[in-house]
Amino acid sequence: MPSRIDFSAPADVVAPQLLGCTVTHNGVTIRLTEVEAYLGAEDAAAHTYRGKTPRNAAMFGPPGRLYVYLSYGIHLNGNIVCAPEGTGQGCLMRGGEVLEGEELARERRQANGKVVAYENLARGPGNLGRALGLSLEDNGAPVMLAPRDEEPEWVAGPRVGISKNAEVPYRFWIPRNKTVSTPRGYPK
What is the model's pTM? 0.91
Coarse DSSP helix, strand, coil percentages of the chain, rounded to the nearest 5 percent:
20, 30, 50
Q: What CATH number corresponds to the domain at position 52?
A: 3.10.300.10
Does any domain span residue 188?
no
Does any domain span residue 182?
no
Provide the residue range defining the domain that includes 112: 11-173
Q: Average pLDDT over the chain, rounded to whole?
A: 89
Spatial distance between the Cα atoms of 179 and 116, rounded to a whole number of angstroms: 12
pLDDT one-digit tens code per residue, 120-165? 999 999 999 999 999 999 999 999 999 898 889 999 988 887 778 7
Does any domain span residue 15?
yes
User: Which H or E element spans position 12?
Assistant: helix 11-18
Task: Tell me the β-bridge partners of 156.
Answer: 172
Q: How many domains does the chain have?
A: 1
Does any domain span residue 3?
no
Query: Helix 125-132 and helix 102-109: axis angle, to 10°?
Result: 120
